[in-house]
Chains A and B, each alone.
Chain A
């Protein structure tokens, strides 16, 4: 390892989001003459190991989401190591970051559900408590609930943990309770796909009686026909690598680079179907 290496800290390099971010980082790094050193410490999620990346031996470090604790980030900043975060921010620490626009994305999804699909009983499936994207999307959901004057009881805010299994279990429990709702907004697309499957298994017609949308996009979401807002994840990685390399080259950067998202209307939301509504 040397000044021609960039470090990447992630919990699990094989997960969809992390894999796409790393691909984007690698693309820019290689074009600019850097090799990557990846510390993926929880590939085996049941047995995570400590972070071992020697940040002093690399030119700079990209940290994906909240993979590095604030203490380690503080240590790296103190040692003068350039750092860029992807989809994360730590209040009080002067580390720049790159993120998708969570507020814009949730606002687009809610406008679609309320204005275009005519839904008012929205269930929200949350991500991981305390995680940057998750908290941003939850706050944005709360704002849009006020904007459209929706009645969302606390039991309609479901635990999801960015996990298809957890999301499915939470939704099953809600269905079993006999709750009335006509839309589900999931804080990521995997939970959105799980919601569609869970609802259909329980006998709900999606999208005729319940509209389902999710945040973020990937081939799986396209295959499932899920309506989403597309955040180009590899682009987040590319932008983070550019941010990191610029810092290495001596450019002081503060704040967060925010990338817009794009609504992708597919088959799980409009009750009349996207083709009939002329919006595919």
Chain B
């Protein structure tokens, strides 16, 4: 009994894998007819025909005209085209104070986004809010829903679809992927939000595809996400609790927004008069940037400190992983290119530039990156695309 179930699982996995091979070959423009697909994928022609028939029946492919005949003068093959509008995907980002979801076609084109303020909700109320946010986009579907991608900061077991520990949401051992999959009767995939930022930036960002792509995300805490050989590496996540040294404390106490706020206030008093907003006034990274641009000493000192702390993270990553590219993401990117340049310069100074493996750095500033990454991840898992 067990062997038979295992065989079935293997057969269905193989079939799924072969479907993905074919779809991807057409999606990427590597092959556009059955014969070329058989040649490209090394699958038997009857297998290709059967699976292509299935994909056409499901609306994911259409036959469109005929191509050139082969050199031997054979029949002109029927051309196949991928239909991006055949299905839609929802990606969801769940953060401490809000949920942002995006609805996209299979080519990643975003149709609409949906924003829900959590208003301090915690625990099960957040799960209800996730459902009511997804519903906002279910209402806007123009095609059947293929699957849902979910991103959460905290300790996440992506394989099991489980949020192990997310204290900011009061979540412990929440089987989020299963809950959402059951709610919508559709596959749901979970990953750490910073890993999804890495996926979004890798798939849709301006950087050329590279072997090892890392993202450092700095907001209320600090996270690292990795894409290795085009797939999310699920070993990243929160690194804020890591201690930098006995004297300095953890990364969260150096780069997490609550601590940056406190540090800004201390420097504002130390370098008075300062352009930085006072204790009771709103403060954002844009306020700090504005003060820096006007030569404010407190703001300049703060940016220098932040760039050194960031360089510490960059140095660890480059020293351990020698990635091809590191992108900085999160609200801290509002400090602009000078912060990144400063941090990159410190990193090179500390790590030493390896002329064979120059690491490049960039800012990842596009909006809704977690939700977009959740879409990319869902497309990767479900169809083998991206």
Contact = CB atoms under 8 A, between A and B. Distances in A.
A and B assemble together: yes
Interface string A123-159: 0000000000000000000010011010000000000
A243 B103 CA distance: 14
B110 interface: yes
B135 interface: yes
A255 B140 contact: no
Nearest to B131: A252
Contacts of A254: 116, 129, 132-133, 135-136
B44 to A, nearest CB: 45
A215 to B, nearest CB: 18
A26 interface: no
B13 to A, nearest CB: 34
Given A254-B116, A254-B133, A146 B140 contact: no
A104 B133 CA distance: 21
A259 B132 CA distance: 18
A209 interface: no
A246 interface: yes
B139 A258 contact: no
Interface of B: 99, 110, 112-117, 129, 131-133, 135-140, 284, 286-287, 289-290, 293-294, 334, 336, 367
Contacts of B289: 146-147, 149
Contacts of B112: 239, 257-259
A242 B139 contact: yes
A259 B114 CA distance: 9
Given A104-B367, A149-B294, A243-B140, A255 B115 contact: yes
A250 B115 CA distance: 20
A259 B367 CA distance: 13
A149 B114 contact: no
Contacts of A252: 131-132, 135
B283 to A, nearest CB: 11
Interface string A238-256: 0100110111000111111
Nearest to B290: A146
B336 to A, nearest CB: 8
Contact of A257 (B99, B113, B367): B113
Nearest to B117: A255
B115 A251 contact: no
A260 interface: yes
19 contacts: A104-B367, A146-B290, A147-B286, A149-B290, A246-B135, A252-B132, A252-B135, A253-B135, A254-B116, A254-B133, A255-B114, A255-B115, A255-B117, A255-B133, A257-B113, A258-B112, A258-B115, A259-B112, A260-B110
A96 interface: yes
A243 B135 CA distance: 9
Most chain A beta carbons < 10 A, residue from B132, B138, B139: B139
Nearest to A94: B132
B257 to A, nearest CB: 17
B138 A255 contact: no
Given A254-B116, A258-B115, A96 B287 contact: no
Contacts of A239: 112, 140
